[in-house]
Structure 1
Amino acid sequence: MYPGYLRKPHYYETDQMGIIHHSNYIRWFEEARVDLLEWLKLPYQVIEEAGIIIPVLAVSCTYKGMVHYGDKVKINVFVENYTGTRFEFRYELVNLTTNQVATTGTSSHCFLSKEHQRLISLKKKFPEFHEIFENYVNL
Structure 2
Amino acid sequence: MFEYNRTAKYHETDQMGIIHHSNYIKWMEEARIEAMNQMGYPYRRFEEEGFISPVLAVNCEYKKSVCFDEKVKIKVFLKEIGRVKFTLGYEIYNLSQDNRLSAVGSSTHCFLKKGGRPVLIDKEMSEFAAALQKMNV
Common fold by TM > 0.5: yes
Residues 82 and 137 of structure 1 are in contact (CA less than 8 Å); yes or no, is this contact kept in structure 2?
no
Give ranges in structure 1 of 5+ residues lacking alignment: none
- Whichever structure has more helix as a proportion of its residues is 2
CA distance in 2, matches of 1:137, 1:8: 24
Q: What's the CA shift for 1:82?
A: 1.2
CA distance in 1, matches of 2:60, 2:67: 17
CA distance in 2, matches of 1:138, 1:104: 17
Q: Which runs of 4+ in 1 moved over 6 A?
A: none
The aligned amino acid for 1:46 is R
Q: Taking structure 1 as the reference length, what is the TM-score of the superposition? A: 0.91
Aligned residues: 136
SS in structure 1 opposite 2:64?
A: coil
Residue 72 of structure 1 is matched in structure 2 by 71
Residue 59 of structure 2 is matched in structure 1 by 60
Residue 106 of structure 1 is matched in structure 2 by 106
Give ranges in structure 2 of 5+ residues lacking alignment: none
CA distance in 1, matches of 2:129, 2:61: 30
1:15-94 aligned within 5 A: 15-94=14-93
Residues 84 and 130 of structure 1 are in contact (CA less than 8 Å); yes or no, is this contact kept in structure 2?
no
Identity of aligned residues (%): 45
